[in-house]
Amino acid sequence: MPRSSHPSTAAELSVYPPLANSAATEPETGSVDFGSLTLRYVIERRSRRTLALNVLPDGRLLVAAPEDATSAAIADSVRKRAPWVVRQWEAQRRQAVAQPRHYRSGEMHYYLGRQYRLRVEAGPAAVRLVGRRLLVTVADPTNTARVGQLVKQWYREQAQRHLPREFAAVLARLPATLLPPGPELRLRLLTMPSRWGSCAAATRTILLHPDLVKTPRHCIEYVVCHELAHLLIRRHNQAFYALQTRLMPDWPHWQQRLAELESLLETSAGLVSPSPA
Ligand SMILES: [Zn+2]
């Protein structure tokens, strides 16, 4: 599932503005369409033989081009490298969204797609939801490492409670004939470095990342359906997506939502894109 196939991300990225032209001379600019996205760029002419693309920290796209390159040739090069540009933008966006967890009062945490504000109070070690708060009581509320430990343990317990339930619910509503016959399907929760789910077809085992419990129920359902589809079709081809649509007609919406929430993965790091694999 290539990240550039996420339509919502593309739509949001299209707001990246061209360079503000405060200078007296207008910079040379260009744009190309890539899917639903328009890539705008500023051209810098240099005495060089090849063309180089550079995504600045603020998202602007600069093209260093040879003096004699035609604008059509530049546009063609940008179009060819558009997937790379989109990946850079997505990586920037993820970094902007990712919040380091400090486990102090006031911090936002997610549970089944809803936000809860962390509140830490002195008391016997416990974690519970109270209204829209994630209330942690602990002997020493300034001990954020201990608070973090308790919260992570609480998430693990919630994952063990909810994910098997969602998995069973999807299986229960599927026509039995849709899945290949064989021994009962198994579910395993596993903290995977860069994916929400995985399918071991040989052992009829679906793996889910425990942090899925932080995402909406339909996102969990989407990942389950995606992995179940892999029982029949390994590759992400047309037949695979047709089957996925049979299992969950509105999956694109939840795929999109999941992409927005990917920074919730505790293990997500750097540019690795978490997605169902
Ligand atoms: Zn897949």
Q: What is the mean pLDDT of residues 262-266?
A: 65
Please say if the pLDDT value at position 173 is more than 70: yes
pTM of the model: 0.63
Query: Per the structure block, which two tokens stand in for 195?
Result: 């994916």
Q: Express each pLDDT in 189-236 by its tens digit.
A: 998 877 899 999 889 999 999 999 999 999 999 999 999 999 999 999
Query: Per the structure block, which two tokens stand in for 243?
Result: 């089957």
Residues β-bridged to residue 62: 42, 54
Please say if the pLDDT value at position 8 is more than 60: no
Q: Indicate the domain borders of the chain.
A: 3-97, 108-276
Domain 108-276, classified CATH 3.30.2010.10, yes or no: yes
Question: How far is it, in rounded angstroms, from Cα 247 to Cα 235?
Answer: 16
> How many Å lie between the centroid of ligand 1 and the Cα of residue 2?
10
> How many Å lie between the centroid of ligand 1 and the Cα of residue 206?
12
Residue 277: count other Cβ atoms within 10 Å of its Cβ.
Answer: 17
> How many Å lie between the centroid of ligand 1 and the Cα of residue 198?
7
Question: How far is it, in rounded angstroms, from Cα 241 to Cα 217?
Answer: 21
> How many Å lie between the centroid of ligand 1 and the Cα of residue 1?
6
Query: Per the structure block, which two tokens stand in for 3?
Result: 């990240």
> How many Å lie between the centroid of ligand 1 and the Cα of residue 203?
17
Q: Express each pLDDT in 52-66 by its tens digit.
A: 998 876 678 889 999
Which residues have beta carbons under 5 A from ligand 1 (an ion)? 276
- Check residue 14 and give its pLDDT: 30
Q: Round the average pLDDT of the chain to a whole number and report it.
A: 82
Please say if the pLDDT value at position 137 is more than 90: yes
> How many Å lie between the centroid of ligand 1 and the Cα of residue 172?
21
> How many Å lie between the centroid of ligand 1 and the Cα of residue 277?
4
Please say if the pLDDT value at position 22 is more than 60: no
CB 82 within 8 A of CB 63: no
Find, among 40, 68, 72, the residue nearest to 53 by Cα: 40
